[in-house]
Every structure is written in C-alpha cells, then in structure tokens.
Structure 1
Amino acid sequence: MIALAVGGLGSAFAYTAGWLSPQRLTAQRMVDAIEANGPPRPGFRRAHARGVCVAGHFEANGRGAQWSRADVLAGGRTPFVGRMSIGGGAPDGNEAGARVRSLALKLVQADRQEWRMAMNTFPVMAVATPQAFHEQTLAGRPDPATGKPDPARVAAFAAAHPEMAGFRAWADSAPFTDSFATDTYHSVNAFVFVDGDGREQPVRWTMRPLAPVATLDKAARDALPSDYLQRELERRVQQAPVRWEMAVTLAAPGDPTADATRAWPADRERVVVGEVVVERVSPQADGDCRDVNFDPLVLPDGVRPSDDPILHARSAAYSVSATRRLRETAAGAATATEVSR
C-alpha cells in the first residue's frame, strides 16, 4: 500500500510536469530501458543496486531558518534513515572502482513531515531532460557480441549533447576517495526554500565531509574486495560517528534552475546550515533503509521542487522501480539477502 501511495504521488508530479503522457516518455519506459541494460535483478533497485543502510541525525544550527520555514532547519536534531550506494544496477559491483557514489536520506520531523534527499558525488547532470536521459540509457546498452556499449553509438550521443561537458570533466578528473565518509555529495538539482513570509529562494546543497580525505589510485582500487566501502564505513562508524556539513548554495537572479547540467557561478553565497551525523550502519537486506523509496519530491513545508524536469522524472521513475521491486520481493523472487533499496 505504501508503494502504491508513493507511486501515485510520483505519477501526479510527473503528470503536472508535462512529461508523462501517451505522446511522451513514460516512467515505465524509462525503467524498462534501465532494466534492459543488464541481466534481470529481481528484488533489487534498478539503479544504485549495491548499498548499505545508515542511520543517525541531522543537527541544524538554525542558520537555514532565514530562508526556509522547514522544521529540519530551525535548529536541533532530526533523526534520519539513509543509504549509501554506488551507481549501476549490479548488486555485486566493485565499490572502490565505482565512478558514482550516492547518499540518500529520509529525515523525519517531529510533526512527521519528511524530507527525502537523493544526492550524488557528481555536481552536475550529464543531460538536462528526461528524454535525453532515456536516449543516453539506450546509447549505453551493451552490445550482445561484446557485453559492452558500442563506442561509436556512445560517441555519437556525446557529440549530439555538448551539455555533457561538465559531467565528463568531473568523471575524467575527480579523485576516487578511500571511503563513503570522505566523499562530497550534491543535490545536483535545484530546489526552492520558502520562508515564513512566503519568500522564495532557489538553492542547491552539498554534503561536505568533515573527515580527512584520502584517495585511491587504480592499482589500490583493483586490489580491494568488492565490498570494501561498506566494510570500511562499518569500521569507521564503530570508532566514531561520521559527519558531513550541509552547505546550501543560494542562487542569484538569472541562475538556471531548470537545467542541472549547468553549475552556478563559484562566487554564489554558501551557508552551512548543519551537520549530517551517521551513527549506525547495517546491511541493506534487513536494515531500516530496505523498503524506503528515496523520492526527492517528498519534501516538508518550507521546501518545494524547482522547475527542473529531471526532478519530476526521477520521482516517477523511482516510484515505478520501488513498486516493481517490492512486488518481486513479496512474490519471493528475491531472498532475504537479495533485497535492495
């Protein structure tokens, strides 16, 4: 019932965004394309299949209350359940070698309103529209003869989408850190903070690690076990909680909010509004994050979505994926150790 309710909410958002219609791309088609790029993985999330549950609290310093009336930002502690994962649909993927890593949170206010975040290590999207994302997924489909994407097809897609330059620059140059705890995670998409008087401020946010950052070269990554990041995080949290500071970037008039491939100028004001504190780590098979759909459009009063069409597409696609996954699990398609996010 929860999956159906969330699915209906996501579909409503997608419909109002105008991209979910008989003449346009649907969430079902988008998820179908993702599924077709790999072998069937019943019971697993279609993207970010490998991960680990985390739990802790967000400690607000009150500075965010100037721009948003959300209780989370007013000051004090808000508990959360979260998940740290790597990109891709392989539940046995090599963690240390994953180019994309993610942090998802479900913060629950005292009034039971929720703020769900789905953040990634890349600071900008590769493409700006759901249709382009779908085309990118099709371009990356493995060739049955080689098991890898066709380089010519991938190159043709890249040539047709020069907006990918920012993402490709990050992918080519960003270091591989030695821990989930030492990565930086971005909202990527823009949102809008709303204060007590109804004034609106477009924002993006970043979770910046407070632990010292170390990196891994390719030889070191290749020598590590595939579950290295999970095990390292477990050991680290046993010694002390892991912390990130949440820095909110305030858009200036004219900064793009509907195009997540475009970074805002580096001189925009950034305000640290609190800290994310991870205190517990548990396997995703039976952890608190197992059945959570980290839909980025589940927002508390004081935060609303921007006009970015990718946000609405993500919401609807997450709902489709969650419904399929929970149905597979309920039908016994996945064992207890195979249940993902």
Structure 2
Amino acid sequence: MHNPSTPDTSPTRHLGSWALIAAVVAVTVAAFGYVGGWLAPQRLTPKRLVDQLQDNAGTFAGYRRNHAKGVCMTGYFDSNGHAQPYSVAQIFTAGRTPLVGRFAIPGGNPYAPDGSVPIRSMALRFTQANGQQWRTGMNSMPVFPVAAPQAFFAQLQAQQPDPTTGKPDPAKVAAFFAAHPETAAFRAWAKTAKPSASFATESYWSLNAFVFVDAHGTRQPVRWRMVPMATDGGGDAGKAGDADYLAADLAERLTRGPLRWQLQITLANAGDPTNDATKAWPDDRRTIDAGTLVIDATQAQESGPCRDINYDPLVLPHGIEASDDPLLPARSAAYADSYLRRTSEEAHLPGTVAPQPEKQP
C-alpha cells in the first residue's frame, strides 16, 4: 500500500503529470495561435490589415504602408505647466522637450499628388529628460470613420481598386457605408473638406482618447489637438499641376521663422465615450492650453531623423495611458508590422544604409 508520506514514483503517476503539463502547453499554444490568427484564418491580424493596405495602394519597398508620403521635421515643445495637475508626465512640467516628427498624407503611395486627399497628418516623438518617450499620431479631421478595427478592415476591402478600372467599385463603397451608420459624422465632414495648401495651417486631432494620471493616481480621460498659429494660405491646394507642393511650402515658411501650434487638451466628463473615435465630445468640455509646439527645421524623409521611427501611439510615458479604445492596440500592432516590412526592405535596397533598430524607451 502506498505511503502518503513518500513520493509516488510509479509510471502511472508520471504519465498523469506529463499529461497535465502537455494539456497546459496545448491550451497555451492554442491561445497564442488564436491571438496570432494561426488557428483562425478569418481572424483579423496585423498581417491581414497591412496586406489589405498593400492591396489597395500597391507595395513600395522601404516605405510605410500608410501615410507613405511625408517629410521629417524637428523642434520642441514648450510646456507652460497648465497640464501638470492632471498628469505626472515630465513633458508637462514647465520647460522644453525636444521632438522628432513627421508630416504626411494618407495612403500607401509615396508618389501620390498632395492634393489627392483632404487629410494631413502630424506624428511626433517627444523624448523627456528622464528618457521616457511620448509618441503620438494625429490627423486633420475631428472624427475617425469607424470605431472598430474590423470595420476599418471592411472599409479597406470595400475601397480596394477594381483591377479593370483602377478605382474602387462605387457599389461596394456605398454598401459599406450603408452597413456602417457610425461613419455619418466623418462623411459629413468629408463633404466639405478640401486639400489644404500647407501642413502649417492645419489642426491635428488625436482622435483616440487617452488617460492622464496625476500624482495621486487620479485618472482623467482626455483627447488633444494641435491648433496652428499660422492661418494664411489654407484654402487652395497649391499651384496648379504641382503634385509636391506641401514639402516645398513647409521649407519656404521655415526660412521666415519657426512654425507653432498650441497643444489643447480636452478633459472628458463622466459618460463621454472613450472607446469610440467616431464620436466627438461636446464643445463645452473644459480645454487646457498645455503649451506651444515649435517646428524649426525640416528634412526629406529618405535621409531625415524620422525615417526609422515607428510612431506607435502606445509608446507612452508615465502619466499617460491608453484608454479602452479598440483602435489603439490595432494601430500599434499594424504599425509594428509595417515597420518590420519596410525596414527589412530598406536593408536590401542598393545604395541605402540599413536602418538602425529603435531603442525602446
């Protein structure tokens, strides 16, 4: 009879233990497989999303799969300290924080005419004195078309060009919008939106909500916007026939002095949606002037300091956290997939210097 005080070394006991371990491993592998899409071919993965971007715009080796056409810029943020009561992030302490950024237009074609879309983007990487980074990507529209990654993927599928015409099928696009009434606010904005003549005269919205955390651990949902101090020349889209006027306009403006934006941070009230980028918050929400963004130099993206930066919106310093918006982890994962593709391609292009891996903050 087996003595409970002595180890059981019987083969049956060993087989039972190994079976339990194998079962745990199998469940773990299955979980990772499901998350990665390996065991669920129809599950939306970063690869499927980025593949669809390529299907829509083509593949241009060494370039981002979205917002491919852009220009690097450098400068700094001058904080006035007004946001410090809401976040312990060092960038909001009164003083100056350097940045490396990028202006761009949507789409995966780096040779697209600047006037082809009415949207511009601003991406920034702030590096705090303590080494922590804040990376943010903003767009010149107040709301996003859809609220979920799956809906964004469906939108890309609907807008994929027809091989026979080279343009999206209007019936598929119409069917998508009919099935997604949450796009109404974006479509209303798009009806009157026109391509601007300058990056410098645009406002840029965070679109997604984030959370500020103060010194006591109090959490405050926020959105932010960069509001330009330059207001001239924002109506018409450059010179007739000029496909590349945005970078030239930016360089010309900088010969006359730095360009500035005001960082406005909007504080949510209880009940304001933090998980739906299609819904703007009411105009009466409290907004803080947190300081001034200053851009003082620009450089071509092929050789500029922004080339090898992944503007992942989830690279956040202590004091800023992600909200429950499902678009944020999807953006982060898709950016990582795109980054790995383009940097791998750059390393094999003749006459180019291989990109250096990013240091993690």
Counterpart of 2:206 in structure 1: which amino acid? S
Uncovered stretches (5+) of structure 1, i.e. residues with no partner? 1-14, 337-341
Distance 2:125 2:262 in 1: 17
Distance in 2 between the 1:251 and 1:175 partners? 29
Q: Is residue 27 from structure 1 mapped to residue 43 from structure 2 by the alignment?
A: no
SS in 2 for 1:326: helix
The share of aligned pairs that are identical, in percent, is: 50
Deviation, 1:288, is 0.3
Deviation string, structure 1 residues 313-335 (Cα, Å, up to 9, x no partner): 00000000000000001122785
Query: 1:250-275: per-residue Cα shift (whole Å, max 9, x none)?
Result: 00000000010111111111111011
Is 1:158 the equivalent of 2:177?
A: yes
Write out per-residue CA displacement over residues 33-54 of structure 1, whole angstroms, 9 at most, x where no aligned residue: 1111122211110001100000
Structure 2 distance, partners of 1:169, 1:214, is 24
> Letter of the aligned partner of 1:313 in structure 2?
A
Q: 1:94 to 1:250 in 2, by over 3 A?
A: same
**1:328 correspondence with 2:345:** yes
Using the TM superposition, give the Cα deviation of residue 215 of structure 1 relative to its aligned residue in structure 2, in angstroms: 3.1
In structure 2, do the counterparts of structure 1 residues 197 and 330 end up closer, same or farther at CA, with 3 Å as the change threshold? same
Distance 2:351 2:108 in 1: 15
Q: Secondary structure at the match of 1:119?
A: strand
Aligned to 2:72: 53
Q: CA separation of 1:89/1:126 partners in 2, compared to 1, >3 Å: closer, same or farther?
A: same
Give the counterpart of 1:180 among 199, 207, 217: 199
Structure 2 residue 211 is matched with structure 1 residue 196: no
Equivalent in the alignment of 2:249: 232
Classify the secondary structure of the residue corresponding to 1:172: helix
1:209 aligns with 2:242: no
How many angstroms does 1:75 deviate by? 1.1
Q: Which of structures 1 and 2 has the larger relative contact order (alpha carbons within 8 angstroms, sep 6+)? A: 1
Partner of 2:4: none
Change in CA separation of 1:25 and 1:333 when aligned onto 2, cut-off 3 Å: farther
Displaced runs of 4 or more, over 6 A? none
Checking the alignment, whether the CA contact within 8 Å between 1:178 and 1:213 is kept in structure 2 is no
Q: 1:19 to 1:172 in 2, by over 3 A?
A: farther
Cα distance in 2 for residues equivalent to 1:125 and 1:105: 19
- Confirm or deny: 8 A CA contact 1:248 1:270 kept in the other structure: yes
Cα contact 1:96–1:229 (8 A) shared by 2? no
Q: Does 1:88 align with 2:107?
A: yes
Question: Aligned letter for 1:314?
Answer: R
* Structure 2 gap ranges (5+): 1-30, 354-361
Mapped contact 1:54–1:280 kept (Cα < 8 A): yes
Query: C-alpha deviations, 1:88-125, integer Å up to 9, x for none?
Result: 11111111342111000000000110000100011111
- Describe the SS at the equivalent of 2:255: helix
Number of positions where the alignment pairs a residue of Structure 1 with one of Structure 2: 319
Structure 1 residue 19: deviation in Å?
A: 7.0
SS of equivalent to 1:313: helix
